[in-house]
Amino acid sequence: MMLLQVEKLEKHFGGLCAVAELSFFLEEAQILGLIGPNGAGKTTVFHCLTGFLPIDKGEVKFKGRSIKGLRPHQICRMGMARTFQIVRPFLNVSVLDNVMVGAMLREKSLAAARRLAHSTLEFVGLEGLSQERAGSLPLALRKRLELARALATRPEVLLLDEVMGGLNPTDVDEMVRLLREIHQKGVSILLIEHVMRGLMALAQRVVVINYGRKIAEGVPGEVVRDPQVVEAYLGREFLDAAG
């Protein structure tokens, strides 16, 4: 079943066309990668999918229902959660309380929410730091916190924006392991990623966009060899040089 359907999505900023005629879909229990050079419009797509930016043209359906015009909190409630490219923890609040904000979406009682928060923290390996102020965490742990917070909302679809950015290879592998486990629990993942190692390990399919348009789609192995994709990332000269 198609969990997320994006049809001819368009987004303009004044005269600038950030996303144009973008169509793709995400199936149940699938990991889809969304890649493209810097400035291609990937985060803009995320903002459109999660209600942070209004959609100019096109249609986005989540579980068959259009999300056009919905506010972010309503979309999260429907089951689509996201993380941000630049992590946004609640700095002055403890790690546990951060995750509790997410947990309280589904659990009305504070005690149940706390249990859910604790188990989520255990899952990502942050349980020992639950009383620490979020602002005191280094980047790698903040990324995990961001993931935990989104997970606590019990999403069916998880939108991850460069969740491995800035991590060292060990942390990347750990993140890959976590995401695989999340996937195994039945969560679909839409992944914006530059860290190829992580992307290749996880994505079952990949959509490549450049200048707001889809230029390739398919299995990761094929897509990275597609000449258009190589050109987009590395430029014409490389393509010519590579023959």
Partner 1 sequence: MKRLYLLLASALLVLVLLPLVLDKYLLGIFVMIFFYAYLGQSWNLLTGYSGHISLGHALYVGIGAYTSTYLAMNHNISPWIGMWVGAVLAMLVGLAIGFLGFRFGLRGVYFVILTISFAEISRLVVSHIPALGGFAGIFLDFKPSFWNFQFRGNVAYYYLSLGFMVASVGVARLLELSRAGRFMVAVREDEDAAEALGVNAFKYSMLGIALSAFMTALGGTFYANYIFYINPNSVLGMGLSIELILRPIIGGMGTALGPVLGSFLLTPLSEISRAYFARGGLEGLHLILYGILAILVVLFMREGMLVYLRRALRSLLRLES
* Footprint of partner 1 (CB under 8 A): 50-52, 71-73, 76-77, 81-82, 84, 88-93, 97, 100-102, 104-105, 108, 110, 149-150, 152-153
The least distance separating partner 1 from the CB of residue 235, rounded to whole angstroms, comes to 35
Q: Closest CB to partner 1 among 42 and 149?
A: 149
Q: Closest CB to partner 1 among 153 and 188?
A: 153
Q: Yes or no: say if 193 and 164 are a contact pair by the CB < 8 Å rule.
A: yes
The least distance separating partner 1 from the CB of residue 93, rounded to whole angstroms, comes to 6
The letter for the amino acid at 196 is M
Distance of CA 181 to the CA centre of its chain: 16
The least distance separating partner 1 from the CB of residue 223, rounded to whole angstroms, comes to 29
Q: Closest CB to partner 1 among 102 and 212?
A: 102
Report the run of H or E that residue 45 belongs to, with start and end: helix 42-49
Cα(183)–Cα(108) distance, rounded to whole angstroms? Answer: 26
The least distance separating partner 1 from the CB of residue 213, rounded to whole angstroms, comes to 26
Q: Say which residues have a Cβ less than 8 Å from residue 48's Cβ, sequence separation at least 6.
A: 9, 11, 19, 54, 55, 60
The least distance separating partner 1 from the CB of residue 30, rounded to whole angstroms, comes to 22
Bridge partners of 4, per DSSP, are 26, 62
Per-position DSSP letters for 167-222, written without gaps between them: --HHHHHHHHHHHHHHHHTT-EEEEE---HHHHHHH-SEEEEEETTEEEEEE-HHH
Q: Yes or no: say if 110 and 91 are a contact pair by the CB < 8 Å rule.
A: no
Q: Closest CB to partner 1 among 82 and 143?
A: 82
Neighbours of 8 (CB within 10 A): 11
Q: Closest CB to partner 1 among 117 and 199?
A: 117
The least distance separating partner 1 from the CB of residue 80, rounded to whole angstroms, comes to 10
Cα(24)–Cα(11) distance, rounded to whole angstroms? Answer: 15
Q: Closest CB to partner 1 among 147 and 224?
A: 147
The least distance separating partner 1 from the CB of residue 43, rounded to whole angstroms, comes to 13
Q: Closest CB to partner 1 among 152 and 232?
A: 152
Cα(18)–Cα(80) distance, rounded to whole angstroms? Answer: 23
